[in-house]
Structure 1
Amino acid sequence: MDVVKATIRAYYNAHKNDAGAYVADKEKSPYLTEMAKVTQDASAKVAQACRAAVAEGKKPAITLDADDTTVWTYDMEEAMEFSFTPQFQQAYLEKNDMPATPGMVKLVKVAKDAGCEIIGLTGRSTSQKAWTLRNLRAVGYTEFTDGLYFTKPSSDPAKMPSYIKCAGAKCTTVEFKAGTRAHIEKDLGYTIVGNFGDQYSDLIGGHSDTAYKLPNPTYYLP
C-alpha cells in the first residue's frame, strides 16, 4: 500500500502542508497536465456537438458526475487515508469546499454558451444535494440547477424513481446512472451529446452520444 500511495502522490505531486497533511499540488503535476489536455480536447468537441444539435432543433445537454469530475476530492482522500466511509465524507463536506476539478469550470461554461443544458448526475446521496450544489457554486459553476441535478436516493430499488429499473436487491451505479440518462432523454426530451465521469460506471449503459473519461487512479467504483 505504501508503494501505491507513493505512486498516486507522485501523479498529483502531493506534498505535506503546514499541518502535516498531504495535499495535491494545485499548480503543477502530471495530473494537471493530463487534465489540461483532456478538457481542452473535450471542450472543442462538446461545443461543436452542442451547436450542431441546436441547429437541428434538438435540446442538447451534457451530464456530469460530481466527485473528480466537477469537484476534486484528492485532499479528502488523503485526509481519510484512502479509506472511504460515508460518515467521513459527510463530515468533510459539512466543513470543507472541494476545489473544482481542473479545467472543468471552463468546459461547462463553453458547453452552456454553445447551447447545451448542464445536468448533474452523481452517486452522492440525495441528503448531500444541497451541500453539493453550494460547493459547485462556490467554486465557479453557475450553470447547475436544483431541478436538473440528480442524486441517488438509495440503493434500495423500492426507493428509486419509477424510471430506474434494478435487477437485484440493490441498484448498481450503472443502473442508476444509465437509467437516469434514459429518463433525461426519453421523458425530458434532451439529447445528451456528452457524458462526463471519472469512473467507467459513470459512462457505460448508453444514452449519450459521447462518453468522456477523466483520469482518476485514486479509487474504483463498480
Structure 2
Amino acid sequence: MHKSLRVAGIATACAVAGAALYGTGAATADNASARHTAEPQNIGVLVGEIDDYYGAYQDADGVWRSSPDSPYAKDLARIQAKAKKDIRKAAAHGAKGGGHGAKGSAHGKKPAIVLDVDDTSLLSFDYEKTTNYTYNSATWDAYVKAAKRPAVFGMPELVTYAKSKGVEVFFLTGLSESQREGAVTNLARAGYDTQLDTEHVFTKNKTAPPAYLSNCATPAKWECTTVQFKEGTRRHIESTGYDIVGSFGDQVSDLAGGYADKTYKLPNPTYFVE
C-alpha cells in the first residue's frame, strides 16, 4: 500500500509535520526535499490549517468529512475543469487525426486516462483525522476493506465525462492485490460508473508480479519503487493500444516517469509518498 512509503517519522506521534504542505523548509507532496533552514510550522497550527483547507466536520455518525465548498474542493474543481478541456481536445484531435472517431487517437491508439485511487479517486480524510495523521498497516487494511470512503469531489463526474468522449478509464493504485476487492467495491459504491475488472484496475501484486515489471520485481523479491511501479504499468497500458492523454494523482510519485501526455496533480496536504 502506498502509505507504507511515507517519509520516515510520519508514524510518530503527531506525525503531520513530516508530510506538511505548509511552512518554510517542509517536505511536501510537490517537494520531497525538506530544507531545515528555519523553525518548522507549529504542528497545532498546521493541523488547524489542514482542517480549514478541507472544511473539516463530523457527520451524525462521527465520520470526518470534507466540505464541498472548501478550498480543497475549489482547487479540485479548477484542476478538473482544465482536465476536461484537455480531454475534449485530445478526443477531438484523435477523431480528426486518426479518422476513427472516438475509437482512435491521432497515433492510431485509443485515448485513455489513468487515475490513482487513494486521495485521487477515494478520499481518506476520515482515516487521517481519526488516526491523527499516522499510519498503521492493520487499521489501514481494515479501512480499505470496509469500502466506505467517499469519492474525491468531482472525480466520478470527470470519469463519466471522459467516457462520454470515448476515452478509456484505468485505475492504478499502490494498494495490494489483497485489497483489490475492497477498492473495487468502494469505487463502485462511490459512483464510478466504469469498468472495474482486472484489465482496468491495477494493484501491487507482490507475490505474482506481471512480466512488464520484471526490471524491478520477481515472485521472490519486489524492489519496485512507486515511480517504477506506476511508470511500468502506464507503459504496459500504452503497449496494449492506448494513448494515455491524462494521468491523475495526489502525489508526484503517482505521475513521474512519463507515459502520459499530461499529468494532473491533485492536492493532498496529509501525507507524502516517495
TM-score of the two chains, using structure 1 as the length reference: 0.90
What are the superposed Cα offsets for residues 81-119 of structure 1, whole Å, 9 maximum, x if unpaired?
211122111111233511111111111111111011101
Counterpart selection for 1:166 from 166, 191, 216: 216
- Amino acid in structure 2 at the alignment position of 1:166: C
In structure 2, the partner of 1:33 is 74
How far the C-alpha of 1:142 sits from its partner, in A, is 1.3
The structure whose Rg is larger is 2
How far the C-alpha of 1:141 sits from its partner, in A, is 0.5
Counterpart selection for 1:152 from 204, 209, 219: 204
Counterpart selection for 1:67 from 105, 118, 125: 118
State the aligned residue count: 217
Change (3 A) 1:138 1:190: same
**Seq. identity, %:** 41
- Amino acid in structure 2 at the alignment position of 1:98: R
In structure 2, the partner of 1:132 is 183
Return the alpha-carbon distance in structure 1 between the equivalents of residues 249 and 89 of structure 2. 20
Q: Tell me, what secondary structure is at the counterpart of 1:35?
A: helix
2:200 pairs with 1:200: no
Q: Tell me, what secondary structure is at the counterpart of 1:177?
A: helix
Contact 1:120 1:144 survives alignment (8 Å):
no
In structure 2, the partner of 1:215 is 267
Structure 2, unaligned runs of 5 or more? 1-42, 99-103
How far the C-alpha of 1:22 sits from its partner, in A, is 6.9
In structure 1, the partner of 2:55 is 13
Structure 1, unaligned runs of 5 or more? none
Contact 1:51 1:115 survives alignment (8 Å):
no
In structure 2, the partner of 1:183 is 236
In structure 2, the partner of 1:85 is 136
RMSD of equivalent CA atoms: 1.9
- Amino acid in structure 1 at the alignment position of 2:228: E
Q: Which structure features the higher share of helix residues?
A: 1
Contact 1:122 1:151 survives alignment (8 Å):
yes
Q: Tell me, what secondary structure is at the counterpart of 1:163?
A: helix
